[in-house]
Amino acid sequence: MKRVELKEVRKSYDRRTDVLSGIDVTIEPGEFFVLVGPSGCGKSTILRIIAGLENVTGGELRIGGKRANHLLPSQRDLSMVFQNYVLYPHLTVQENITFGLHVKRLSKAEQKQRCLETAEILGLTDYLKRKPKEISRGHRQRVALARAIVTHAPICLMDEPLSNLEAKLRTKIRSEIRGIQQKLGMTMIYVTNDQTEAMTVADRLMILNSGEVQQIGKPLHIYNYPVNTFVASFIGARPMNLIEAEVNGSSLIVDEWTVPMSDMIDLIGKRKRVMIGVRPENIRAARQDEPGFDVTVANVEVQGTETLITFHMGSSDQWIARLAGQWNLEVGKSLSIYIEDQHLCFFDTSSSQRIISHAEKLANFRGDLSGEYTAYRNKVEGLEQAVGRVNV
């Protein structure tokens, strides 16, 4: 396992406009790290830089503690799976899997042993003698994965490897990829524009937009505490509902909805307007004893275990509520909804940055201290291991 570090990495094709701006991140050994963002945000470019297929315009790339800016792809000790997997049609599945092992000068017996082990992990044992045209698309994708895994490279890069598969098969194979990564302990760097996929498999994820890092962290932390309105609206099977509200004393006013600011009053400061955000699952039908407010149903999607209700907030903003169970509601009818204050996020209207509460600031400070201690402990352990090897 190896650590991958990008320090203020920039990339420009014309020396005037940066497609990547100051990418600064450390990917830990054995981590499943996901790059996610809309098309054209620069995530595949980062992957190609790590692989050595693109040059760095500025900053530094380090792999396993070694500067790698100018290392050839073959010198980086990694494997890669591309979006469009390419299999040799005239070779069998086994020959496709072992094709890259010839350059490693492994014996035929070792190549066969590795192939059999990898095929068993990916469920390809019964297909080794077949040609690619004789197996399904899902199995072809598994062959491409096997070809990367069989090299035993400590780092594996994946560039949207499942985008060409149907939804059900994609769900199955991404679960298999996660299981393989955990079993082998490799460092996995995975690119996708499917935020649900990113949330499902990642230890940590990095959200990009227009070549800039928006937020890095664990999936649930990013989901619950988005750093800005872009992250809030991008992450989630359904985006966070957002709307501007007027500050009126110690409350926020959105039409007939009044939101008491409680402990946020000091943080709002002199702002006249703020952006309110709430996840669809945190909106529910109001009980009789709750101060709900009425909305008009614009659309209903009954999905078996849950129902998605679309309604208008304010003059034009369209919101979605995710209600548990099956709700037989008619379009145009009124529904009383209730939102608990604790589930609300507040954003500055000018900067789009989230306004952080005092309690969260304290939690973040404690988390930073914990992270610094862990990093220091890892360095000490590394030095102790190095000294032990020298003494031996």
Residue that has been written with the tokens 């499902």 in this structure = 200
pLDDT at 359: 52
pLDDT at 227: 95
| DSSP 8-state secondary structure symbol assigned to residue 100 | G
Query: Reduced to 3 DSSP states, what percent helix, strand and coil does the chain have, rounded to the nearest 5?
Result: 35, 30, 30
pLDDT at 20: 95
pLDDT at 169: 79
pLDDT at 180: 85
**Domain 238-356 class in CATH:** mainly beta
Q: DSSP letter string over 22-69?
A: EEEEEEPTT-EEEEE-STTSSHHHHHHHHHTSS--SEEEEEETTEE-T
pLDDT at 248: 82
Smallest CA-to-CA distance from 195 within 225, 235, 229, 156 is with 235
Do 4-224 and 238-356 show the same overall fold? no
Please state the φ and ψ torsions of residue 83, each to the nearest 5 degrees: -60, -45
Please state the φ and ψ torsions of residue 120, each to the nearest 5 degrees: -65, -40
The secondary structure element, H or E, covering residue 337 is strand 334-339
pLDDT at 340: 85
Where do the structural domains in the chain lie, given as residue ranges?
4-224, 238-356, 357-392
Q: How many residues does the chain have?
A: 392
Q: What is the pLDDT along the chain (392 residues), one digit of tens a residue?
A: 789 999 999 999 988 899 999 999 999 999 999 999 999 999 999 999 999 999 999 999 999 999 999 999 989 999 998 877 788 999 999 999 998 887 777 888 998 999 998 898 888 999 999 999 999 888 888 898 899 888 888 999 999 888 777 778 788 888 888 988 888 889 999 999 888 889 999 999 999 999 999 999 999 999 999 999 999 999 988 889 999 988 887 788 887 788 776 666 667 777 888 899 999 999 999 988 888 888 999 999 999 899 999 998 876 678 999 999 999 899 999 999 998 888 888 999 999 999 875 556 555 555 555 555 555 565 555 555 555 555 54
pLDDT at 376: 56
Amino acid present at 256: E
pLDDT at 265: 67
Q: Which tokens is 202 given?
A: 């990642």
Smallest CA-to-CA distance from 286 within 321, 324, 337, 328 is with 337
Q: Which tokens is 356 given?
A: 């952080």
Look up the pTM and report it.
Answer: 0.84
Q: Is 3 in a helix, a strand, or coil?
A: coil
Q: Is 292 in a helix, a strand, or coil?
A: coil
pLDDT at 310: 95
Q: Is 380 in a helix, a strand, or coil?
A: helix
Q: DSSP letter string over 58-75?
A: EEEEEETTEE-TT--GGG
69-75 long-range contacts, Cβ below 8 Å, gap at least 24?
74/103
CATH architecture of 4-224: 3-Layer(aba) Sandwich (3.40)
